[in-house]
Chains A and B, each alone.
Chain A
């Protein structure tokens, strides 16, 4: 398999990320990560806490530059772009759901969801405003004019997902998107992500949630920054295989 296969939407090749730990020693948070995230597929990144899942997601998003290795999207080598270019690439291609949501708590639900629309427009176009309202409704949220700091964790998580979807990105990068949700809401989010994959988007989820893993087409299992053998967990492997 060539990492430079033009047909491949998004791929990472031999990623290596090293950090300094508290004592100043270098350690590899990720090493030897090679994977493809095809359009129309859900990829689940699983692994114990501290295994590098968020780090991998940030690499894919161009938030973090790997120490070595490559991130490609279409013909673009994202990992060798400059910072502003990576920001622009992320702005145009990625819908981000962060582990801690990262809502702008001064803003209301609608304002948070429409924030990405302000990056390129003087005011939020009414079509995007309507889209935001639909997303809010679809996620069972109320369009209240209170700052999002007043909402529950579950509500905040759903606002974060709605914001990631506003600009209809080709890639969705979600860090534990169902961690704060009850079963019903988690199921609805999983369904939404499945629907997005169905629309041809590349969906990448860091998750512990079986509900999401069971719908994934690919599962990347991380352990101390390395990819484990595929389908180490026969249960996960079976499910992923079923759907493929």
Chain B
């Protein structure tokens, strides 16, 4: 007893209907899978990108805005921390280090970030190539930067928005020649394409006091309290967890705010809760559509199948044989649709990730996890159960009646 030759013939002869059914199922499965996979990739990717930024201190305002500019390097305007707070913060002993973050220049369309070598070392663990900057005219590039170690350049004033127009800035090169002395390891964040140089140089370029005594060309802490300007944000590496909470409380004042990026991300996701709800709603809707497609498909395939199954009964075929054909036909199609849907869903998620990563610099690695497989398996199971229907109906009806009718 082997139903496959007949199932295969049915599949071949009804290939267009069969393909339409497979694609319908695949489309629904892939959408649901891509939505869920992408949502997780976004959450994991952004959490990973923000992971090494322990505590961020900035002027009071929107944590999300600060997070987006300081960690995700999205163009935006942030208020500066008052110089007194900046100085107090930069010299705070409860932190292993405090790294100021300063913006304002770019090179080849990527932002130049003024900071300290401690942050560079911390973000990168060890450098991939070369060393951290030790002088003002030196810089370190991110892992994905096209700028090579040993290259020299002059910073361009202003940060291009979206890489092209520089509406409110006047692009011109300024300051001294800068030499790239090192390259960071990949961090999975937009910092991978940025250029890091001593914050003192950025201050200098913008005619601000440069954090050290007049004529002192030192880089990094300690900073001179009388000659330190305000900064948009600083990354604080606390020594202990207790210190982390102390620091957060100490800098949550009228003049400054302090927050853990992970916390801010969680809040961001909950602010985006509407979007997530929309996404899960979409996932549910697509699943419902898939199930409807399966039901409709099964009913349509009925029309193809039932007369033939009745013929087989009339010829005396064993019940199991008939059931296997009836079930095998629909079950094969559902299986094909679900497998294709999983593959296409992963592909879709991968494509969206690539596109988002190119746009944001946040490395996104889409995966298929249990929830996606669960969707696939539940659709498969439902389809396989519904596929029993034709077999059941054919066996139940009186054969003489069926023969007279079809």
Residues on A with beta carbons closer than 8 Å to the beta carbon of B374: none
Q: Which residue of A lies closest to B12 (CB)?
A: A106
Q: Which residue of A lies closest to B321 (CB)?
A: A119
A118 vs B400: C-alpha distance in the bound complex, in angstroms?
23
Partner of A91, one of B5, B308, B316: B316
| Chain A proximity mask over B1-21: 1 for CB below 8 Å, otherwise 0 | 111011001101110000000
Q: Are A106 and B308 in contact (CB under 8 A)?
A: yes
Q: Are B308 and A118 in contact (CB under 8 A)?
A: no
| Chain A proximity mask over B372-406: 1 for CB below 8 Å, otherwise 0 | 00000000000000000000000000011001000
Partner of A118, one of B1, B310, B311: B1
Candidate in B9, B316, B400, B403 with the most chain A CB atoms within 10 angstroms? B316
Tell me the smallest distance from the CB of A135 to a CB of chain B, in Å. 16
Q: Are B315 and A116 in contact (CB under 8 A)?
A: yes
A72 vs B123: C-alpha distance in the bound complex, in angstroms?
91
Partner of A96, one of B13, B14, B315: B315
Residues on B with beta carbons closer than 8 Å to the beta carbon of A161: none
Residues on B with beta carbons closer than 8 Å to the beta carbon of A96: 314-316
Does B318 reach chain A (CB closer than 8 Å)? Answer: yes
Residues on B with beta carbons closer than 8 Å to the beta carbon of A123: 2, 5
Residues on B with beta carbons closer than 8 Å to the beta carbon of A163: 315
A115 vs B403: C-alpha distance in the bound complex, in angstroms?
18
Does B107 reach chain A (CB closer than 8 Å)? Answer: no
Q: A106-B13, A121-B1 are in contact. Are A64 and B400 (CB under 8 A)?
A: yes
Q: Are B2 and A107 in contact (CB under 8 A)?
A: no
Residues on A with beta carbons closer than 8 Å to the beta carbon of B403: 58, 63, 98, 102
Q: Are B1 and A63 in contact (CB under 8 A)?
A: no
> How many residues on B have C-beta within 8 angstroms of the other chain's C-beta atoms?
25
Q: Are A94 and B13 in contact (CB under 8 A)?
A: no
Q: Which residue of A lies closest to B399 (CB)?
A: A63
Q: Are A63 and B318 in contact (CB under 8 A)?
A: no
Q: A63-B400, A91-B315, A104-B308 are in contact. Are A122 and B2 (CB under 8 A)?
A: yes
A91 vs B1: C-alpha distance in the bound complex, in angstroms?
13
Q: Are A118 and B321 in contact (CB under 8 A)?
A: yes
A79 vs B318: C-alpha distance in the bound complex, in angstroms?
18
Does A111 reach chain B (CB closer than 8 Å)? Answer: yes
Does B94 reach chain A (CB closer than 8 Å)? Answer: no
Residues on A with beta carbons closer than 8 Å to the beta carbon of B314: 63, 96, 98, 102
Q: List 17 A-B contacts (CB under 8 A).
A: A63-B399, A83-B399, A87-B317, A90-B315, A92-B316, A102-B314, A102-B315, A104-B6, A106-B6, A106-B308, A107-B9, A119-B316, A119-B317, A119-B318, A119-B321, A122-B1, A123-B2
Residues of A within 8 A of B (CB): 58, 63-64, 83-84, 87-92, 94, 96, 98, 102-107, 111, 115-116, 118-123, 147, 163
Residues of B within 8 A of A (CB): 1-3, 5-6, 9-10, 12-14, 308, 310-319, 321, 399-400, 403
Question: What are the 10 A-B residue pairs with the smallest beta carbon separation, nearest first?
Answer: A91-B316, A90-B316, A106-B13, A64-B400, A102-B311, A122-B2, A106-B9, A87-B316, A104-B308, A119-B317
